[in-house]
A and B are shown apart, each in its own frame.
Chain A
Amino acid sequence: MGAVNPETVQPSPLAARLSLIFTLLALLGLFIFPYGTLSHTGDAQALLQRFPSGLTNFTGGEFQNIPQVGAALSVGWVTLLALMATALAAWRRASWLWIAGLITLLSALVAAYLFGQSLDSAVATLTAQGVRARRIPWNSGGVHLGLVLPALAGLVSVFAGLSMRSVWWQRLNRLRPLLVPLVAIALAVIVGAVVVMVVQPIPNGLNRPLSWGELFTGKLDLVWYVYTTLFAPLSNLAGFFDSLKSATPLIFTGLGVALAFRTGLFNIGGPGQLTMGGIAAMLVGVYAPLPAPLLLPATIAAAALGGALWGAIPGILKARFGSSEVINTIMLNYIASAVFIFFIGSNTFTVLGRTYTLPFKTEGYEAKSDEFQPGARLDTMAHWLGFTRGEQTFVSLGPVLALLTFAAVYYGLARLASMAKWRGLLASALALLVGWLTWHTAGLPVSAIFTRSLLNTSLVIGLICAALVGFLLWRTSAGYALRAVGLSPAAAEYGGIHVSKNMILAMTLSGALMGLAATHYTMGGALDEYRLKANMPVGVGFDGITVALMGQNTPLGVVVSAVLFGTLDTGSIRVVTVLDHVNKDIVTVLKALIVLFIAAGGFLSRRITDPPPTALLEHHPPTISPATSLPDAQSSAPSDNTSARGPQ
């Protein structure tokens, strides 16, 4: 999309239309949606601020010292004007669309900031009067849809406006793979919102039926409350650590599914492989008479091996007999759960009237193993990263500094050809040195609650695995073979790649990754004890599918989406304790919907998600053709392309 003549450059009709839709929605939303939340009580009853003025009160209580949000409201008028300007710019496809969008975005952000300041100062006043933090209503406040939508519209308009310049067009183009996951999330969020509206009555303390307007506002606030609470763990360190704790097993299972996907295999056997990993880790971690330095790696390896074994079976069956790995992995899930019950459920079993004993189940009623030996336990992150100086607890910045050092040295020396051989080694050595020096000296002060977090170093194992999977798939010939089999088994075979061997390899590695997820639950003590326990949530094996699809089967994507879903899982616990009609499986529904919508390509046309190469469009640069003829130009070029590609 080269800009031929900079004078006549203007946003494409699609970009302008997108910006216009968002802007009009935001204009409408500014008036009909709440502007901000002043308070949510413990039962999620709301006190809402409206724009341009007025309160909506669902609590039924009278409030003293309501925060003065006048400043935030007056900035709202600026936002309103900016939105109107943006709408005009989008309508006329003006080249200054991005400026108007930027002003909208900034003014909305300023209004949000001022709103937060007003709440903070109201809290400060009450604190000064000696009111306890839990009794101050304004702690639970924040911005609402009325202000968030203009910010969003501003953001969209900025990018829509900037996309007219070829530099920005190319930059945005590189983000195109994110489109389907993002649209899928958005659609799932909308469906989830409808579900919440249907199942949960409005938390109402008014002792009277609500008017239609209040009903509308209340339902909207309910949805907003649910989603903000789902993402709330990200707003503080303890919550973030909890999210990472939920994310850790998802990283493993997501990587496992992604690796199999890349080889064209679908591994739904996560639960079984995780279970077998757990059992193998238990056998080594509890019973192996090894010295501590050997025991830890041996236990980790056992977990991987247990999962690998369970993954290899369907791999071999597929390669040897051609039976579907989908059904076999599912069957193996059920068998693994039976094996688990056999090992942990009871100490005795009877075969044909003769009774045998098993040593694995610990004494007592609960089905769990004996404790892992101290040498087979993974450190908690808080203990590993944290240190105290005097009364204050710190989180170490050592790993961050070490990484920064590595990056600085490695890329800093990239220009020097003479250093090419040594820069990796040098950078690693320096990074290790910096890490060692700063581990217990440089840190961020945090509250001591953080040391209670059960987040453990299996997260580090997970991140290392992510790096290794990335390296394997894109930097080694073995990985090339795996991906070739995934793209086209026939072509790979023709190219001299042993297809069945690679299928077995992929399933084995995938199973090993799934098995490693068990390190989090057993060696890491994520379930409060360093044991193999019956309540190990093996369903994370299925969640791995969602994580992998969301992360586009790339290691980085898997890590990011694992953190996202870990956050949702953590946030859902809070939602459920407050709203009695919402089940925590609403998150499961959201995940399923995301898979559904990603499978459907976000209902987007192929022209948008997978556009033809620009070379084909070169003859129809949209910047020159008038608005009316453009759709023809765009639709004709891709259709040539699809026919050239032929049936798939």
Chain B
Amino acid sequence: MLTLPLVRNLFIGGPLRDEVIIDAHMHIGKYYNFLIPSTGVAAVIENAKRIGITRLYGSSLLSLRNDAIAGNNMVIEAHKAYPGVFFPYLVVKPNYAEETRDILDLAEREHTKQFKIHDDGNGIPFDHKNYIPLYEYADQIGAVILAHTYGEMHVAPLIKVAMQFKSVKILLGHSGITDEDAYYLAARSCPNIFLETCNSLAWYGLIERLVKKAGADRICFGTDMPFMSPDQQIGRILGARISDEDKRRILGLNALEVFPKKL
């Protein structure tokens, strides 16, 4: 059977068929700062299907800004509505430390092994003591933590966390958006750190450099829907001057290894 190069889809659009495409970074809900045309779970999942994404890992924007408990319940409900397709990240907020135990209990009850951390609004560094209960729990169960990052200020504390809690798999969101070298250092220093690709700034050659300097087996595709367009994000991978084998790893094969196998 003739296998067509993946870059072909960049020019013709349409879903990638018979490929494993996993979105490791997306959201549901609204955001205060700007108008987003599509915010509902159904719309986001339709968008994902349209480009061939078969599995999505998402957090609630309500969790990230205001109310972790209410937002986490939203993603648990979305998982129940779309089993096998949508998988929740539970948000732990360091400025509501009194809620952490309840969130970890929810994770236990719902068999959720993915968490999201973000300093939007709270400004608390990722190596703050209020995150320790999360890290200890995640270390015990081998959970995945997706962290929002914008360069070295976020990556440096996460290197410390990854070195201390070696069974936690840490995904660095928006890898390479700025301070690229910090991301390469993190990937080289910590086998439990992975680089997630979503980035509204589509830097020329970034995907190629990530592959060259961190290794294709350390990179996971993400879209940041509904902020960013999955249409735009998949093009950054399809159009990169890397091998199709590396593209397949980034688009989904790595995520199969990173995320818990028992769904």
Bound together: no
Binding site for B on A (CB under 8 A): none
